[in-house]
Every structure is written in C-alpha cells, then in structure tokens.
Amino acid sequence: MKIAFAADPLSGFNLAKDSTYAMMREAAARGHELHAFRHADMIVSDGRVQANVSRIRLTGQAGSWFQVEETRQCAPSDFDVVVERTDPPFNMEYIYATYLLELAESQGARVVNRPAAIRNHNEKLAITGFPQFTAPTLVTSDAAQVRAFHATHRDIILKPLDGMGGTGIFRVRDDGLNLGAIVETLTADGARTIMVQRFIPEIAHGDRRVLLIGGKVVPYCLARIPQAGEVRGNLAAGGTGVAMPVSEREREIGEALAPVLLERGLLLVGLDVIGHHLTEINVTSPTCFQEIMQQTGFDVAGMFVDALENLQTN
C-alpha cells in the first residue's frame, strides 16, 4: 500500500512515545510505502486538491530516523489511504484542512479518520450522544445554570470545549470557592460555551484511555494517574501512564460505541473513561500506542495497520 500521513513535522516526533511513529514503523516493516505531508502543504488549484508530499524511508537511527527520498506535488487520491494524524489545537486552520481533505475524498481519496467525522465530533461534546455512559453533564455559557448545577452536585469539574492535554480544567468543591471567577474566565463573561460535569472521585485511579480500532476494542488501556494534588490525569499535565487490561465496564462502553463510530467514519478513536463514566471521545490523533505496547507487549500499531489493510479488501 501507498500510505500518506497528514502529520505535524516529523522532526518533532518523540520516538519513544509517538503513536504516529509506531504506525509508520509497523507499516514499513510490512513493506508499505510511506509518505508524509502537513496540512499547510495542501492547496486547491482549479478545483483539485494537491499537496507537496514527501516519500520517506525509516532509517532505524534515533538521531535521523527518517530520510526524504523525494518530494513532489500530487493528489491525495494517488495514495491507497491518507491517515490524518495532525495534533490539535483544533482551530479554524484545522477545520479548513478537513474541508480540503473532504474535497479530496470527493475526488477519490480515502482518508481516515474521515475529515467530516473529525469535524463533527467535538471531543468534549461528542459524549452527549451517549448519556447512558456519562456522569451528570451540563453544557452552557450561562453562569446561573452552572451555579444551579453546582448546588445540585456540590463537587464539579469545569472545562473549555476546545482544550487539550488537560488545559483549562478546574475543580470546584462543596464550598464553591472561586466558582464565579472561574465561570467568568472560562466563558469570557458568557461569550463561550463550556462543559460542567459532576466530579468523579475514581480519577484517583486514573483517567483511562480506551482505544477503538476498526470497530474493535483494544484489550489494554492506559490509565493516566494524576500526580499528587492534581485532578488531571493527562500525561501532558504530569500524569503517570500505567497500562492494564480494560475493565468489564470499559469493554461495555467500547463495544457499544465502536460500531457506531466506525460507521460514522472513525477508524481510530480514543475513549476517556473515569470510573464507570465516559468523559471524552478523542478522534483527531489518539495516542498511547507505544505505552501500551511497551508495558503489555500488545501490538496496538499492528492492530491499526491490520485495519488499514482491511480497507483494501472491503
């Protein structure tokens, strides 16, 4: 297969942790041809999507792990599959890129995850479609609504809808200390919509990343355990990643969502689960491949490349 990765600059990859690198390494080991480009490399000329795409070869050397063999302008449809792996922030430039990739789809490209599906699944808001699996949740920009929610649940988490890596997340306990200031800051005095959830005390045991690949649940998850004094388990916020088998509840959630999300065009999804509750549905560039592989021996990247290869036969 000819596989093109729409990704951030390869020179910035952390080879010990990067899931996109794990995908590339597995694909190369199977003899697939690797290519890479950035969102900024795409153009539309005379109605056709083109991109400056580099064919790369993995060298196996940590200091210079890839070599560019050639760079040329071509259409996304020239590849068997385009794998969208650009990291957030999910800003307007990211949205514009999904429009271009969606246009490329109409011109024959196969893109995973599908650009319209990425665009339509805000990673916070997407959980509202599955209320049977979530803790009590409020989405609003109204301070009075937030205060009423706090009065009911007494211990709450507030977060922006466009945050990543645990940024902008606040906990307000029973005393309501600083609730007004936090709401004013997060909503910009009512101009921005936020999410509010009942605090889930099981966060002490980890915010668990459950991966769905090709409509199936990966049998191991990564529990991201907060450091002392934190309520955020995100690795970017200092959490510690511990791989472990998925729980019965996590499998229940994963098996319920996997076929639905696959049907929507989401081949790879990262669910965030705290305790018994679904808290996020990550669709842009879900990670944790290498941490799970390193700690359990389960080949997540192999399962992902299997799913890509299966696209060729379906």
Judge if 177 and 218 occupy the same domain. Answer: no
Residue 192 lies in a domain: yes
Which residue segment(s) compose the domain that 267 sits in? 202-313
Kindly compute the dihedral angle of the four CA atoms of residues 58, 59, 63, 68, in this order, to the nearest 10 degrees. Answer: -60
280 is catalytic: yes
**9 exposure class (CB count in 10 Å sphere: 0-12, 13-18, 19+):** exposed
159 is catalytic: yes
Residue 18 three-state SS: coil
Nearest to 85 by CA among 301, 248, 302, 242: 301
Domain shared by 179 and 211, yes or no: no
The answer to whether 249 and 276 are in contact (CB under 8 A) is yes
* Whole-Å CA distances, 226 to 137, 203, 271: 22, 8, 17
Active site residue 147: no
Residue at a domain's end among 89, 120, 151: 120
2 is annotated as an active-site residue: no
Amino acid at 275: G
Question: Do 108 and 15 reside in the same domain of the chain?
Answer: yes
Question: Do 230 and 186 fall into the same domain?
Answer: no
Q: Which of 35-44, 47-56, 175-184, 229-238 has the lowest mean pLDDT?
A: 229-238
Report DSSP state, residue 265. T
Asked if the structure places residue 125 within a domain, the reply is no
110 in active site:
no
- Here the CATH number for the domain that contains residue 23 is 3.40.50.20
Query: What domain count does the chain have?
Result: 3
Is the pLDDT at 123 greater than 90? The verdict is: yes
Which position among 232, 234, 250, 291 bears the catalytic label? Answer: 232
The DSSP result for 218-277, as a single string, is -SEEEEEEPPTT-S---GGGT-EEEEEEPPHHHHHHHHHHHHHHHHTT-SEEEEEEETTE
Region of residue 165 (left: phi > 0; alpha: psi -120 to 50; beta: else)? left
Residue 271 sits in the same domain as residue 260: yes
User: Which entry of 113, 198, 282, 291 is annotated as an active-site residue?
Assistant: 282
The reply to whether 154 and 263 lie within a common domain is no
Q: Is-catalytic flag, 255?
A: no
What average pLDDT does this structure show over 202-216?
A: 96
Assigned domain for 291 exists: yes
Look up tokens 């200092």; give the residue.
238
Whether residue 211 is found in the same domain as residue 305: yes
**187 HSE (CA, 13 A, CB side):** 22
pLDDT of 230 > 80? The answer is no
Number of helices and strands (H, E) in the chain?
Answer: 8, 17
238 CB-near residues (< 8 Å, 6+ apart): 226, 227, 230, 232
Give the chain's length: 314
Instruction: Say if 301 falls within a structural domain.
Output: yes
Give 71's pLDDT tier (boundaries 50, 70, 90): very high
Lowest-pLDDT range of 4-8, 26-30, 203-207, 305-309: 203-207
Q: Are residues 172 and 109 in the same domain?
A: no
* Catalytic-role residue among 207, 224, 234, 291: 224
261 and 206 housed in the same domain: yes
CATH number of the domain within which 187 lies:
3.30.1490.20
Determine the pLDDT at residue 130.
Answer: 98
Is residue 107 domain-resident? yes
User: What CATH number does residue 236 fall under?
Assistant: 3.30.470.20
Cα R_g (the chain), whole angstroms: 20
206 shares a domain with 195: no
Q: Indicate whether 12 and 66 sit together in one domain.
A: yes
Q: Looking at the structure, do residues 224 and 256 belong to the same domain, yes or no?
A: yes
Query: Given this model, what pLDDT does residue 312 score?
Result: 81
Task: Let me know if residue 127 belongs to a domain.
Answer: no
Name the band, by pLDDT with cuts 50, 70 and 90, for residue 121: very high
Q: Is the pLDDT of residue 26 over 90?
A: yes
Helix 289-296 to helix 19-29 angle (10° resolution) is 70
Q: What is the pLDDT of residue 167?
A: 85
The per-residue b/e assignment along 135-153, b for 16 or more CB within 10 angstroms, e otherwise, is bebbebbeeeebeebbeeb
- Single pTM value for the model: 0.95
User: Among 157, 172, 199, which residue terminates a domain?
Assistant: 199
Q: Does residue 246 form part of some domain?
A: yes
The answer on pLDDT for 237 being more than 90 is no
Q: Is the pLDDT of residue 310 over 80?
A: yes
Tell whether the model's pLDDT for residue 264 goes beyond 80.
yes
**In the predicted structure, residue 75 carries a pLDDT above the cut 70:** yes
Matching residue, tokens 């064919």: 55
Whether residue 108 lies inside any domain: the answer is yes
Is 46 catalytic? The answer is: no
